[in-house]
Amino acid sequence: MRYLVTGDQMKEVDHYTIDTIGIPSLVLMERAALAVVCEIEKLVNKKSRIWVLCGNGNNGGDGIAIARMLHLKGYRTTAILAGKRESATRETMIQLEIAKKVGVDLVDYPDFTFGECDLLVDALFGLGLNREVLGSYREIMDQVIASGPALTVAVDIPSGIHSGSGQIMGIAFRADVTVTFGWEKLGTMLYPGKEYSGTVVVAEIGFPEQSLSTIKSEFFTFEPGDANKVPLRPAYSNKGSFGKVLVVAGSRNMSGAAYLSSLAAYRTGAGLVKIFTVEENRTILQSELPEAIIATYDPKEADASTEAFKELLGKQCEWASVIVLGPGLGRESYVKNLVEEVLTNAYVPIILDADGLGAIADNPDLTGYFTENIIVTPHLGEMARLTGSSVEAIKKNLIAAAREYADRFGITCVLKDAVTIGALKDQRTYVNSSGNSSMAKAGAGDVLTGIIAGLLALGLEESDAAALGVWLHGRAGDVVQEKYGGYSLLASQLTEEIHTILQEQTR
Ligand SMILES: NC(=O)C1=CN([C@@H]2O[C@H](COP(=O)(O)OP(=O)(O)OC[C@H]3O[C@@H](n4cnc5c(N)ncnc54)[C@H](OP(=O)(O)O)[C@@H]3O)[C@@H](O)[C@H]2O)[C@@H](O)CC1
Ligand SMILES: [K+]
């Protein structure tokens, strides 16, 4: 597991480390600069022309220290000062004085003659960027971009990218490598910032782990090796030991989603999966997945909400230890009754997905039945329908959108996008780092739902199952992409690779 931070949180960590622990900020700055120089030396030689573009804040201070180190090592380095020297921070002023004394080529931006550049070191704005880049700074950035540096190394975060949301604040540099300090920033994890950051190197520069205790909301991601968080299946067990997953899915002629969710739940380790669907789907589901139990309902009875239907559904809910509600249910009027009955009868974790969420969007009163064991898994379009916001507005701050919805009902919200967010009911926020664009295909969401159900069936609680499920799903997608390339993935292939990831368990 890796912690992630916003720029504001990192500033709290800075303050704690400097003021409470007592590590001087110039010591941190020196280590930050050394870490960047170490990466730069992998990319250039002594003939390379290096520009270090420095702002007025401490990001610029890092830049001047980097320019000094490169100069002392014999690299052809020019530090371009973008702001007025007299308005620099205390640390940056000190760096300027040191740089002058050792003969660093320091040029104020208006006096700089642009030519060819082999490497741009971007130290204009770091975590202090707090508004749109306009006026003279925008002009400088335009000019630097137009001069076409062959490579760009960003210090802490590419200038122009917001450290909390990943949004472009008017204009941004595109880095090949970003060297960031302490912990990765959300801004380089989330699009479009992720695309502008290149390879992100996290440099350890002396922040003690305890400084994270100053942070209130926790952001994290998983990484290879975290499959060992999936509970082991003990040897002394039977199929009932590993949970019973009820998949309420599939209207007439829509058996595919039910199949994919059920298969994924089994592949993740669930002991028993029962599909509750319409009679027309029985034969096909039985032949596709004979391991699943099939139970059926009559849509007319569901539509009329008869006592017999309620009793039947009540029994299914009683049987289940986990419920998947929604894949391929369609938009017919009885779906509302189905969703309402499950929400009122079940006291187990429920993953509400796809058409189940559509029913909630069409009948917002149903949210009155939400309890803390609900996990919703909307994609952006579904989230827009649930909240009444536009997709564009949600995209501007995915984390805020997911967190707001989760907190409104005290539930877990998995907001699916190129970087999926898990706003967990325990207040931690998961930011996914696995997966790829080949997974943007029909059925991939049904597989995710099934994986989360499988993890719940194995005994994980909702927050852990949601986060780990998203990560496993993406890892399976990465394995499929390695084998089949970026175009040909089928959602069913994701289920065929779940075992590959689970075998990464090191225990
Ligand atoms: N603390 C430490 O010890 C360590 C810190 N470290 C380094 O410090 C960095 C953070 O430094 P920082 O806080 O000084 O902010 P930074 O990003 O340099 O820029 C702030 C300046 O930009 C300005 N400004 C903002 N937006 C603007 C806009 N749109 N257009 C124009 N101006 C704008 C803003 O102006 P103001 O808002 O005050 O008007 C201010 O002058 C961090 O990323 C890391 O690299 C490391 O050395 C490790 C130790
Ligand atoms: K920067």
Read off the pLDDT of residues 320-335 as tens digits, 9 standing for 90 and up: 999 999 999 999 999 9
Q: What is the pLDDT of residue 43?
A: 98
Beta strands, E only, 281-411: 293-297, 322-325, 350-352, 374-376
With both helix axes pointing from N to C terminus, report the angle between 58-72 and 90-101 in degrees, rounded to the nearest 10: 20
Q: What is the pLDDT of residue 239?
A: 77
List the 374-376 sheet strands across, edge first: 184-185, 2-5, 219-221, 429-431, 421-423, 412-415, 374-376, 350-352, 322-325, 244-248, 272-278, 293-297
Q: Does position 306 have pLDDT exceeding 80, yes or no?
A: yes
Q: What is the pLDDT of residue 232?
A: 83
Write down the ipTM of this complex.
0.98
Q: Is 469 annotated as a binding residue?
A: no
Q: What is the pLDDT of residue 505?
A: 66
Burial environment of residue 116 by CB neighbours within 10 A (0 to 12, 13 to 18, 19 or more): exposed
Q: Is 405 annotated as a binding residue?
A: no
Residue carrying structure tokens 């590590």? 23
Ligand 1: lining residues by beta carbon, under 6 Å: 14, 18, 25, 28-29, 32, 55-60, 62, 89, 125-133, 137, 155-156, 169, 181
Structure tokens that stand for 403 in this block: 């967190």
Q: What is the pLDDT of residue 375?
A: 98
Ligand that lies nearest to the alpha carbon of residue 19, given by its number in the listed order: 1
| Mean pLDDT, the chain, integer | 96
Q: Is 128 annotated as a binding residue?
A: yes
Q: Does position 19 have pLDDT exceeding 60, yes or no?
A: yes
Q: Nearest to residue 267, comparing CAs of 288, 285, 286, 291? A: 291
Q: Does position 507 have pLDDT exceeding 70, yes or no?
A: no
Q: How far apart are CA 86 and CA 438, in angstroms?
A: 51
Q: What is the pLDDT of residue 235?
A: 81
**Which residue lies with its CA nearest to atom 5 of ligand 1?**
58
Ligand that lies nearest to the alpha carbon of residue 132, given by its number in the listed order: 1
Q: Does position 429 have pLDDT exceeding 80, yes or no?
A: yes
Q: What is the pLDDT of residue 224?
A: 86
Structure tokens that stand for 390 in this block: 């536009």
Q: What is the pLDDT of residue 244?
A: 96
Read off the pLDDT of residues 239-269 as tens digits, 9 standing for 90 and up: 777 899 999 999 888 899 999 999 999 999 9
User: How does DSSP classify residue 215?
Assistant: -
Is the Cβ–Cβ distance between 337 and 314 less than 8 Å?
no
Q: Which domains does the chain have, with CATH numbers?
A: 2-216 (3.40.50.10260), 241-502 (3.40.1190.20)
AA letter at 478: D
| Percent of the chain residues topping a pLDDT of 90 | 93
Q: How far apart are CA 127 and CA 6, in angstroms?
A: 9
- Residues 154, 159, 163: CA angle, nearest 5 degrees: 95
Q: Is 19 annotated as a binding residue?
A: no
Q: Does position 139 have pLDDT exceeding 70, yes or no?
A: yes
**Which residue lies with its CA nearest to atom 28 of ligand 1?**
133
Q: How far is CA 31 from the centre of its chain?
A: 28
DSSP count for the chain of H helices, then E strands: 19, 19
Read off the pLDDT of residues 452-463 as tens digits, 9 standing for 90 and up: 999 999 999 999
Q: Does position 229 have pLDDT exceeding 90, yes or no?
A: no
Three-state DSSP state, 58: helix
Q: Is 443 annotated as a binding residue?
A: no
Q: What is the pLDDT of residue 450?
A: 98
What's the CA-to-centroid distance between 6 and ligand 1, angstroms?
14
List the 151-155 sheet strands across, edge first: 105-108, 76-81, 49-54, 119-123, 151-155, 177-181, 199-203
Mutate to test the pocket of ligand 1, among 125, 173, 186, 202 (most ligand atoms within 8 A of CB): 125
Read off the pLDDT of residues 174-198 as tens digits, 9 standing for 90 and up: 999 999 999 999 999 999 999 999 9
Q: Does position 49 have pLDDT exceeding 90, yes or no?
A: yes
What's the CA-to-centroid distance between 29 and ligand 1, angstroms?
13
pLDDT band at 98 (very low <50, low <70, confident <90, very high): very high
Ligand that lies nearest to the alpha carbon of residue 129, given by its number in the listed order: 1
**Which residue lies with its CA nearest to atom 45 of ligand 1?**
59
Read off the pLDDT of residues 359-402 as tens digits, 9 standing for 90 and up: 999 999 999 999 999 999 999 999 999 999 999 999 999 999 99
Q: Does position 217 have pLDDT exceeding 90, yes or no?
A: no
Q: How far apart are CA 336 and CA 369, in angstroms?
A: 13
